A = this chain, B = another copy of it.
Amino acid sequence: MTAATDIALLSEEMGKVSKAIDGALGRILPTSEGHEAQLFEAMRYASLAGGKRLRPFLVLASASLFDVPTERSTRVACALECVHTYSLVHDDLPCMDDDDLRRGMPTTHKKFDEATAVLAGDALLTYAFEILSDPETHHDPLVRAELVHALAKESGGHGMAGGQMIDLLAADHEMDIGEVTRLQQMKTGALIRFAVEAGGIMGRATRDQFHALQNYAHDLGLAFQIVDDLLDVEGSEEEMGKAVGKDADGGKATFVSLLGIERARTQADMLASQAVVHLDIFDDRAELLRLLPHFVVNRRH
């Protein structure tokens, strides 16, 4: 079990990372005086709206296993956050999930317009690869090329974008637990996997270390998503007085609709413990990564 002081330590560290990433994104995102300025404003608007910055935290924590300098891991964390932000901007579009609000603020297409939101997402995705391939990110071109390759694989058709496609069509299919797991490993798991792998790529991890990180990311990503489904159901009950299982009634299978609340909760806890075990081959520098899974399954938002 994790002591309260450990969780307090982790919370504090996550808060620091979140602030540092806000600052770093503000500095690294491009600006322009030309007629295209609106595009850059939209990129900034979407990227600087706060958020937990879980993925950047994972990049920094995994990089610190190998004593990678923070300036480098921060740039990689910013690149990843650009991709995460682009995915939110496009997912919020009227033709996708059609959301007007995100974190209590108008979504990018509401604040600007749809065309600007599409382009801002495109430009954020593109900019992520510009950051990663820049010699400032890492002096070794092999590391830069490997970071680009890993991020492209995890966010493309076989990763995040493919997951979003499955999700959009999910109401048309009966999905079993295996298919929901695959969907979530693509849609949300893929960027979590990149976040953890990035430290290993920058730090030239051994094969065993790299596999340990991948297994950790796998379990953490699933635990994260199961808790998301749980919070969705629990949130709905409190806020809207709706019955448990509304997603299932709406035709979309989730971990909770398939497993029920109790088994889903048990599964998340089990995955969190399992994630930590994968880190056994690392030393004390893995402390934050060890604390995170418990924090993730016990979060309330």
Contact = CB atoms under 8 A, between A and B. Distances in A.
A35 interface: yes
B149 A35 contact: no
Interface residues of A, number: 61
Interface string A147-161: 011011101111001
Q: How many copies does the complex hold?
A: 2
B121 A95 contact: no
A133 B152 CA distance: 9
A169 B169 CA distance: 34
Interface in A134-170: 134-135, 140-142, 144-146, 148-149, 151-153, 155-158, 161-166, 168-170
Contacts of A35: 165-166, 169-170, 173, 179, 183
A145 to B, nearest CB: 4
Contact of A165 (B38, B132, B133, B155): B38
A36 B144 contact: no
A135 B39 CA distance: 33
Interface secondary structure of A, over-half rule: helix
Interface string A67-92: 00000000000000000001000100
Interface of A: 30, 32, 34-36, 38-40, 43, 86, 90, 93, 95-96, 113-116, 118-119, 121-123, 125-127, 129-130, 132-135, 140-142, 144-146, 148-149, 151-153, 155-158, 161-166, 168-170, 173, 179, 182-183, 186
26 contacts: A32-B157, A34-B162, A34-B166, A35-B173, A35-B179, A36-B157, A36-B163, A38-B165, A39-B157, A39-B161, A90-B119, A95-B114, A96-B115, A96-B118, A119-B165, A121-B122, A122-B161, A123-B156, A123-B157, A123-B161, A126-B152, A130-B149, A132-B148, A133-B146, A140-B141, A145-B148
